[in-house]
Structure 1
Amino acid sequence: MSYENILLKKEDKLSIITINRPESLNALNAKTIQDISAALDEVNSDPSCRVVILTGSGEKSFVAGADIKEFSEFGQEKAEELARNGQNTLFNKIENMSKPVIAAVNGFALGGGLELAMACHIRYASENARLGLPEVTLGLIPGYGGTQRLPKLIGKGLANELIFSAKMIPAQKAKEIGLVNEVYPIDELLTKTKELANTIAHNSPMAISKAIHAVNLSDTDKGFDTEIKYFGELFELEDKKEGVSAFLEKRKPNF
């Protein structure tokens, strides 16, 4: 399948989705959201793909924000529709993918760009990355899940500070507060992200899929019961049998 605003590359068990609008610092517009969503559907249905990497083209920007020109004249009804459709089409889809999605944040991740990174399961960033939610400077608030995901990652107090102040923080600060997992030089970012992705890709895809869902419920009253249920279900699957057999036979499992 061909895409207008993204590039999709498959490497063994990995799929790399690159947002490709360098002329606008990879800003999110409706077409880009649709392209990423369709690419996610494609790789999620591909049994050879175990892990997805999401990044931006160039060395300046992951996603510099939403394309403000698209919604500058919206009223309340259309604005709510925009936020709801965006969350259902892309951001919630990423969070609930059956395969891990790793964000390789290669520069600016602002507004919708940071919300996109936060929807991913893991975030690596380049040293030149700058992250923030500047919506209040436009008289708005984040609309793609930013007010909900940021407090879960860094705590309510720090989330309030970043949202209310609209300030950008450097990658190292983002790591210190738990917003990103690791920080690397820009020329090493994708290599390091692939190394992590390949490590994950060799583990049980069924177990990882269950783990994603269980972790997503960790702040609800369903979390513990879900973990117990999935733990039991996995005992009936071939991945568990292969994993335990490999351990007992002192060999690497073949999932």
Structure 2
Amino acid sequence: LLSGKMMVNLYDIVSELEGWTEGKGVLMYGSNGSFCSGGDLETVSKILDPELGGQMRDFMQDVTRRLHNLPLVSLALVQGKALGGGAELTTACDFRLMTESACIGFVQIKMGVSPGWGGGSRIVNLIGRKTALDLLTSGRLVLADEAKDLQLSDGTLPENDALLKAYDWLERRTIGSVAAIHAVKSTVIIAENSNIEESLRHEQKVFKTVWGSPAQQDALGKNIKHK
């Protein structure tokens, strides 16, 4: 469960990651075999006033937006349950992997509320309007196999060594230089949030920053593209 203190801790971690100039990837996972079951009920009960709830919503929406826009490749490893706000957190990552017994549930509807941390918008982009509406209005739990079919998950891992396998999976998506990874990620972010003309201009800009770089010259020297 995500308490107020944990929300602030997440804010601090994301702020630190934004300044991690040498980083390429980040793996988000829960402790004790469970990803996150959403907001702590004790915390929620203290902010039932719409004004206070709105402040919490804005705070967490900002945190998840910044997590989504990190120059790093982000991966959520879902073990156990990712419910409510926990499900929204998974959508803020670029990729999601689930263990065989894991589930994701946008259960906010069962609590009489709607998603407020940005997950309601991102889930539509991930799996489409109709399927997103089904999950958001039913609050049903999605198991690993179905999540993969819906493209909500990018793969299923066995329970044993899931964390190690997730690290390996992420490592295969961060093989490039730091500069190249950051350039690719920023291109995807701009394309996601802009019209095509603005996106193309940004792609031109970041391409120039990595063309002729030491990493490219090293790859050319090794003829690495064809191996």
Name the TM-score, length of structure 1 as normaliser.
Answer: 0.80
For 1:246, the equivalent position in structure 2 comes to 218
For 2:35, the equivalent position in structure 1 comes to 62
Task: Summarize deviations over 1:177-231 as a string: whole Å, max 9, x none.
Answer: 0101011112232122111222333312223223223323434443453244333
8 Å CA contact retained: 1:133, 1:168? yes
Q: In the comparison of the two structures, how many residue pairs are matched?
A: 224
For 1:36, the equivalent position in structure 2 comes to 10
Higher share in helix:
2
Q: 1:137 aligns with which of 102, 110, 128?
A: 110
Matched, 1:100 2:76: no
Q: 2:176 aligns with which of 203, 217, 230?
A: 203
Comparing 170-179 with 69-78, greater Cα deviation is found at 69-78
Alignment of 1:89-128 (within 5 A): 90-128=63-101
Q: Secondary structure at the match of 1:46?
A: coil
Q: Secondary structure at the match of 1:82?
A: helix
Structure 1 runs not aligned, ≥5 long: 1-26
Higher share in strand:
1
- After superposition, the Cα gap between the structure-2 partners of 1:179 and 1:224, relative to the gap in structure 1 and judged at 3 Å, is farther
8 Å CA contact retained: 2:107, 2:136? yes
Letter in 2 for 1:203: G
* Aligned-pair identity (%): 25
For 1:146, the equivalent position in structure 2 comes to 119
8 Å CA contact retained: 1:217, 1:223? no
8 Å CA contact retained: 1:154, 1:179? yes
Superposition RMSD on alpha carbons, in Å?
2.1
Q: Secondary structure at the match of 1:136?
A: helix
Comparing 111-120 with 179-188, greater Cα deviation is found at 179-188
CA shift at 1:250, angstroms? 2.0
Matched, 1:179 2:152: yes
- After superposition, the Cα gap between the structure-2 partners of 1:40 and 1:246, relative to the gap in structure 1 and judged at 3 Å, is same
Letter in 2 for 1:134: V
Structure 2 runs not aligned, ≥5 long: none
Name the TM-score, length of structure 2 as normaliser.
Answer: 0.89
Matched, 1:50 2:47: no
* Larger RCO: 1 or 2 (CA < 8 Å, sep 6+): 2
- After superposition, the Cα gap between the structure-2 partners of 1:220 and 1:101, relative to the gap in structure 1 and judged at 3 Å, is closer
8 Å CA contact retained: 2:97, 2:166? yes
Matched, 1:218 2:191: yes
Distance 2:76 2:28 in 1: 5
8 Å CA contact retained: 1:33, 1:86? yes
